[in-house]
Structure 1
Amino acid sequence: MPQNDQPQQPSYLELPANGEHDDSGPLANELPQYEALAELEATTTGRGDGRVDIDLSSRIARRLSRLVPAEKRPLFHEHRPHAPPEYTETIETSLRLIIVIQVVGSRGDVQPFVALGTELQRHGHRVRLATHGQFDKFVRDSGLEFFSIGGDPAELMAYMVKNPGLFPSMKTLRGGEIQRKRKMVDEMLHKCWRSCIEPDDLTGRPFVADAIIANPPSFAHIHCAQALGVPLHLMFTMPWTSTREFCHPLANLRANGSDMSASAANYVSYSLVEWMTWQGLGDIINAWRGTLDLETIPFSEGPCLTETLGVPVTYCWSPALVPKPADWPENIDVCGFFFRDAPSYQPEASLANFLSSGPPPVYIGFGSIVIDDPDKLTETILEAVRATGTRAIVSRGWSKLGGDSPGDDQVFFLGDCPHEWLFQQVTAVIHHGGAGTTACGLLNAKPTTIVPFFGDQPFWGNMVHAGGAGPAPIPFKALDSNNLAEAIRFCLTPEASAAARQIADKMSSEAGVRRAVASFHANLPLNDMRCDLLPNLPAAWLYEKKGKHVKLSKMAAEMLVQEEKVSWKDLKYYQSQPVHIENKRWDPVTAALSSLTSTSIGLVTSTADIIVKPIQAFRPTTPSGSRPSSREGASRSGDTLERASADDVFGRPAGIDLPSAPKSTHEKEHHHQHRALTAVKGSALGVGGFFKYYYRGLLLDLPYAVTEGMRNAPKLYGGKVYDPGAVTDWKSGGIAAGKNFAHGMVEGIGGIVMEPVRGAKKEGAAGAAKGVGIGLLNLGTKLSSVGPLLARANGLAIHSTFYFIEMAVPPEAAAIIQRKKAQYCRFADSNQWDRFDSIMLPDATFLFHNPDGSVITKGDIEYSWSSTKDWVAFFENEFRAVQAIHIIGPAEMEQIAPDEIKAIWAVTYHAGTKEHEGGVHGTGGGHYHETWKKVGDDWFMESLRMERLYWKVLSI
């Protein structure tokens, strides 16, 4: 087979060659959401292989094609270098970050990020890998911190194969599988957020992410980054960014007589796949965003959100196999495959004997793919091997190919074996086309045949074929002994071997993991992230006073506060990379209709909540199964033991499942009171939501939507529009209005002069007349948008005083409370009782009780105090002879008013007398129920109620 210097791009679609489609200009008319959904369903069809058929002749596909940016350079360069981008081997950064990596997928998806996390650790960063619980040991054994985000990768894969793009079949609907999977996604969203802020579940070490790395299917990434205001970097093994050079790897394009150009069709396929995904998950994501105090994302902005915001992306495949498309911007890199260090492996004697007894075999295996009829597939493989006269190693995989057969001199059936070692022993590889398996085969210069089952596997098969290292992919449903034999013969040709060797030589110099880390560092806003006093630490707080703006790390802020140089109330939570999501408008009419629709839906929903929420609160619930138990009493010997047991008021390790005692009358009354409060609160939320949507919709969103529509209207007829930036408060609104006015005057007046000239050059006198009209229209639309910008700025300032009704705990407040609770534990452990006035209000109240509600007592002293002074005096005296160590778990927080937050902590503690020999030691646990009040810009504990669940004396 003749080889070119460049891999050939595969042909993804067959379209009539009748000229380039007009790819310029925005959508002239936005579709309403309900109509867009109907159009989307007519345009896209889910297949049984995890891929999507896209009809290019549909109305929505044609409209989206108008959003394809104008081409600035040729699509396909004849001599484009496909070596990796020119990175410095390492970009030195002394900034040490806390990084969370969020990954959804199979082990093959997780494994590259383990390699990435290990390399990031070598640069001094602290790394947590947040993924499915099944990979706990795998991740921890690599030396990384682990956080479980729930979800079952096997179930997710099976669901996506049956229901690609979340368009469910009737069988799936009847089986109730949709709701189960939606709940799984909802669980993963919540836990992805928790992975950014919760302490390590083994050590209790605090964790708040300074940066997020994620693969696109984890979904929560951009929203977590927005809530924290930290940088986000996406990394993935298949293309997820719009390009003209090839279509989305999960899309099959059908022309159906469309005159759309191939480049436009490829580009549009990414938007349509994103729209399908958002249709299935948008409501779940927006409901979850509400718990983070983030605004709802409009239907028009949810798809392709990370692309719109310019989030940096690193693709971990070899540019020798798939070069970086020419139309991808600088924030996107193709760095090479991520390879782990090869594990040590000693083959079993039977495998070693087979390898040494003849010429190198071919490898055939399909990994974790579960096949309905493994016996039939085994027979197909054996027939093809016999027909070609080659020797073969067949991986049994999850389908148990070969059954109990031991094989023979020509075929060896293999169990588990690392590909890094095995692929060095064979002459060609045949597999399902997973990105990792494909990469390993090509790195070892092995010609490759891919038999794709679903998802992106056909994409990799086409890319291998385009590079000359293998035949065209054979879909599994089309596989038989004849085409498999032909594929084996192709892989054994000198041309295929030479092409694979050429790719391997280029891959071997790529150092994908190191280059990905360099790409991550290069895209960080380092100057905005550094502490101004300790530049090797990231900034977490902002000091603004008397014209000074100083970024402070947590350590720097703590030191300055201790030295009384600054006060906590002078510090604000710092966001190193704020994220602003704007609802783009194209014209005044559709903008007004869209705003009114959103407002109406909000009003109806809030009105219903006034009635529905109280009903839900009092709806009977089925209690979960609980088994009766008796509390274990601990005998107390001597005064010291009594003191030790009574003083253990700290807590319980998170995750311990303790049997509950039968509910007392006190607990039942408390339960009814809680339901009543929940009902009242739910109804109040409905009332507050009604007024919020009414005020914001009619007085803020509607005028602003019309204004934005007028400002953007010149785009409809080819004009350019200045972007004044996001409006988030009165200050930013004033600045935006000023900039918009200045640019509007210059561009508007200039347009009155220039538009007739441009029109005359194109169409003569008629064009000049049109130009006059366009110039006047431009001037009117641009200047008319200044006043509403100022109105929106003032409105946002007022709106913030009402928004607390549905507000989640702001990250700044949560950070203060978590820090002070950690200080609470440390001060108590080290007997620094004089420092509690920085944590608690002077009139704070304290109550310690048993599960039945009875107050804990020591003699005639009840563990109940009505001031911080009295509480400190008691424990300062009691703890002179006792040493306690306690560890708090993650907090449940809820903001119930602008200046009030409820927090619940699960805590475990150990306490014992301080004698070197003898004495007593015990362990206990419970929950703290606390109320924190805002004073100025700081937060203080107003009340503490501790429910001690158990106390056990340990023998020494």
Structure 2
Amino acid sequence: MKVNVLAAGSRGDVQPMVALGVGMTRAGHEVTICAGDDFEPLVTGHGLRFVPAGLRIEELIGSELGVAWLGHSSSNPFLELRALKRFVRLSVEEYAGAFLPLAGSADLWLSGLLTLHAADALASVGGGRHVVAEFAPMRPAKLGASGLGPVLPGRSSWLNAVAGRTLLEVVGSVFSPPGDEVRRELGLAATGRRGVVEAIRRTPGLVAASPLVVPPAPDWRGKAEVTGYWFLDDTQAPPAGDPGLAGWVAGGERPAYVGFGSMSTREADRVSALVAEAARAARVRVVLHRGSAGLESLDDAWVRAAGDVPHGWLLPRMVGVVHHGGAGTTGATLRAGVPQAVVAHIGDQPYWGRRVWELGVAAQPIRRHELSVGWLTEVLRGFARGECASRAAAVGAQVRDEDGVGRAVELLSR
């Protein structure tokens, strides 16, 4: 079977697709991944065919428009939504130009949320089945634990389903431009929000998360299967680009990790200083991930800055993890079996922060504009005291027992 994967987005959107692609290849299928140009080494390094999207995601995130979206105050969702719409429109032409030559070349199309509308059009014109990879549950659900923005998070209620349907309409309005551009190029009429919503409703989905975290909702009616996380095998990989990090990590009490992934900011110096002050106050060493924000170590004794390091190697060596609540980092921390705390920035991140707190493996989450020295100091002290540690270890063991890639491959191969 020929499989085309349309993997738009940052590393958290691409790496799980690579993990699934490796599993599909081992099952005898031919996999091609279309993603941002900066992900070519990740894709080809795992033996998969790569098609460049024509843009570099790191440059896009670091652009003025990217910072305006990712760097705004998390207290204003309307500003976030407006900036996200501009950000999506900026990438329309590049992604559409990369997708169009793939028409008619796949037996199976695997899309994410950003590329769902485009993949739906390509499958309708050139043939092939279409399945959407859901890195967060995007379908309406009565069950509060299974919905991104429930009114009553701890209950099952029709109000949660109504909120989910409203959110779906918003998602459709934001993510319709790339698909509409592909439709126009294919000679089809643009559909806007309505087309995205209908594509979500009729397209089967694979939710790449543990059912412990995202319980399958009865009102999905079998349209979405929760498979378990799609992890790459990076648990034994030392940090090749930072030979001194392993020694620093092992050279004292277990450190904590603080990092916000691809979330950029205009306040890198302030955030870096905040982390250093909290580490000193808590007397907990910190590995600070530079990420797209460009955070830096401002305290040699307590904080050590690091670039990209395989989560499977690093996180199990931490006493706890403070992060932005991205689906990938949340899943990797769960697998590591260590406590966590979420500083949610955008999108689905408040959902993941809420769920790990409800599971008893994390501190109560906050939004980015609430981040303070006092809050981070208390979180680090909690890690050092072992708060949530036994529960995190138990959940980690269950997550490691799941075979998300294997389950997804089984479902896709049927």
* TM-score (normalised: structure 2): 0.85
Residue 193 of structure 1 aligns with an amino acid whose one-letter code is L
User: Deviation at 1:251?
Assistant: 4.7
Match status 1:109 vs 2:13: yes
1:291 to partner: Cα distance: 3.9
Cα distance in 2 for residues equivalent to 1:353 and 1:159: 38
CA 1:164–1:184: 2 relative to 1, 3 Å: farther
Specify whether residues 160 and 224 from structure 1 end up closer, same or farther in structure 2 by C-alpha distance, changes over 3 A only. farther
Q: Does 1:211 align with 2:108?
A: yes
The residue aligned with 1:863 is: none
Instruction: Tell me what 2:401 maps to.
Output: 509
Tell me which residue corresponds to 1:430.
322
CA 1:320/1:230 → structure 2, altered by over 3 Å: closer, same or farther? same
Does residue 399 (structure 1) correspond to residue 293 (structure 2)? The answer is: yes
Equivalent residue for 1:485, pick from 354, 369, 377: 377
Deviation of 1:146 (Å): 1.2
For 2:55 and 2:78, locate their aligned partners in 1 and report how far apart those are by CA, in whole Å. Answer: 18
Alignment of 1:453-468 (within 5 A): 453-468=345-360
User: Structure 1 418/226 Cα, relative in aligned 2: closer, same or farther at 3 Å?
Assistant: same
Q: How far did 1:320 drift? A: 1.9
Q: For residues 415 and 189 of structure 1, do their structure 2 counterparts lie closer, same or farther at Cα, with a shift above 3 Å needed?
A: closer
Letter in 2 for 1:192: F
C-alpha change, 1:232 and 1:441, in structure 2 (3 Å) is same
The AA in structure 2 aligned to 1:339 is F
Are 1:323 and 2:220 an aligned pair?
A: no
Measure, in 2, the Cα distance between the counterparts of 1:276 and 1:443: 32
Shift of 1:387: 2.6
Change (3 A) 1:327 1:406: same
List aligned pairs for 1:264-663, cutoff 5 A: 264-279=158-173, 282=176, 285-286=179-180, 288-294=182-188, 297=191, 301-309=194-202, 311-342=203-234, 344-345=237-238, 350-402=244-296, 405=298, 407-408=300-301, 410-494=302-386, 496-522=388-414
Partner of 1:142: 46
Cα distance in 1 for partners of 2:271, 2:257 equals 15
Distance in 1 separating the partners of 2:354 and 2:245: 32
State the alpha-carbon separation in 2 of the partners of residues 191 and 349 from structure 1.
Answer: 37
CA distance in 2, matches of 1:335, 1:381: 36
Q: Which residue in 1 is equivalent to 2:141?
A: 243
CA contact (8 A) 2:255 2:319 kept: yes
SS for the counterpart of 1:134 is helix
Measure, in 2, the Cα distance between the counterparts of 1:395 and 1:286: 37
Partner secondary structure for residue 302 of structure 1? helix
Q: How far did residue 118 of structure 1 move?
A: 1.1
- Give the 3 Å change call, closer, same or farther, for CA 296–185 of structure 1 in structure 2: closer
Give the deviation of 1:336 after TM superposition: 0.9
Letter in 2 for 1:480: S
Identity among equivalent positions (%) equals 27
Deviations 1:276-309 (CA, angstroms, capped at 9, x unpaired): 344456577456424434455486x424212432
| Corresponding residue number in structure 1 for 2:130 | 232
- 1:114-170 per-residue CA deviation (whole Å, 9 max, x = no partner) reads 11111111111111101222222321222111112334535375565469699647x
Which 5+ residue runs of structure 2 have no aligned equivalent?
Answer: none
Mapped contact 1:470–1:490 kept (Cα < 8 A):
no
Shift of 1:190: 4.4
Deviation of the 1:250 alpha carbon:
6.2
* Cα 1:415–1:482 shift into 2, 3 Å: same
Report the Cα offset of residue 344 of structure 1: 2.8
Partner amino acid for 2:232?
R
Query: C-alpha root-mean-square deviation of aligned residues, in Å?
Result: 3.1
Distance 1:423 1:329 in 2: 36
Contact 1:235 1:316 in 2 (8 A): yes
Asked if the contact 1:115–1:338 (Cα under 8 Å) also holds between the matched residues in 2, the reply is yes
Encode CA deviations 1:680-707: one digit per residue, 9 max, x unaligned.
xxxxxxxxxxxxxxxxxxxxxxxxxxxx
Letter in 2 for 1:238: A
Instruction: Tell me the CA shift for residue 386 of structure 1.
Output: 2.6
User: SS where residue 212 of structure 1 aligns?
Assistant: strand
C-alpha separation in 1, matches of 2:374 and 2:8: 37
1:132 pairs, out of 11, 36, 42, with: 36
Equivalent residue number for residue 599 of structure 1: none
**Aligned 8 A contact 1:99 1:128 in 2:** yes
Partners in 1 of 2:248 and 2:300 — Cα distance?
Answer: 10
Q: Distance in 1 between matches of 2:38 and 2:102?
A: 16
Q: Does the aligned pair in 2 maintain the 1:452–1:475 contact within 8 Å? A: yes
- Secondary structure of the residue that 1:498 maps to in structure 2? helix
- Structure 1 residue 406 displacement after superposition: 6.4
Three-state SS of the structure 2 residue aligned to 1:150 is: coil
- Do 1:316 and 1:335's aligned partners in 2 also have CA atoms closer than 8 Å? yes
Q: Give the Cα–Cα distance (whole angstroms) in 2 for the partners of residues 390 and 500 of structure 1.
A: 19
| Matched residue, 1:702 | none
Structure 1 counterpart of 2:101: 194
Counterpart code for 1:265: L
Give the Cα separation in 2 of the matches to 1:142 and 1:278.
33
Task: After superposition, give the CA deviation of every residue in 1:644-688 in whole Å (9 maximum; x if it has no partner).
Answer: xxxxxxxxxxxxxxxxxxxxxxxxxxxxxxxxxxxxxxxxxxxxx
8 Å contact from structure 1 (residues 149, 195) kept in 2: no
CA contact (8 A) 1:271 1:303 kept: no
Count residues in correspondence: 399
Aligned with 1:487: secondary structure? helix
Structure 1 length-normalised TM: 0.39
The separation in 2 between residues aligned to 1:236 and 1:454, in whole angstroms, is 17
Tell me what 1:627 maps to.
none
Following the alignment from structure 1 to structure 2, what is the Cα–Cα distance between the partners of residues 116 and 191? 21
Mapping 1:898-909, distance limit 5 Å: none
Q: Deviations over 1:180-208 (max 9, x none)?
A: 963631442343232234xxxxxxxxxx2
Tell me if structure 2 keeps the 8 A contact 1:248–1:269: no
Q: 2:91 aligns with which of 166, 176, 184?
A: 184
Preserved CA contact (<8 Å) 2:88 2:177: no
Write the deviation string for residues 448-481 of structure 1: whole angstroms up to 9, x where unpaired.
0111121211111111101100111121211111
Of the two, which has the highest radius of gyration? 1
Q: Specify every segment of 5 or more residues in structure 1 that has no aligned partner in the other structure, as ranges.
A: 1-96, 198-207, 255-260, 523-956
Instruction: Flag the structure with higher helix content.
Output: 2
Q: Which amino acid aligns with 2:134?
A: F
Moved more, 261-270 or 426-435: 261-270
Which amino acid is 1:273 matched to?
L
Alignment of 1:850-869 (within 5 A): none
- Decide whether the 8 Å contact of 1:407 with 1:413 is kept in 2: no
Q: 1:240 to 1:141 in 2, by over 3 A?
A: same
Distance 2:21 2:354 in 1: 30
CA distance in 2, matches of 1:490, 1:214: 40
Give the secondary structure class of the aligned counterpart of 2:377.
helix
What amino acid maps onto 1:308 in structure 2?
R
- Does the Cα contact within 8 Å between 2:22 and 2:47 map onto a contact in 1? yes
Measure, in 1, the Cα distance between the counterparts of 2:257 and 2:309: 12
- For the Cα contact (< 8 Å) 1:470–1:491, is it kept in 2? no
- Counterpart-to-counterpart distance in 1, 2:294 and 2:79: 30
Distance 1:241 1:250, change over 3 A: closer
CA distance in 1, matches of 2:300, 2:136: 36
Letter in 2 for 1:437: T
Residue 24 (structure 2) aligned to one of 120, 137, 149: 120
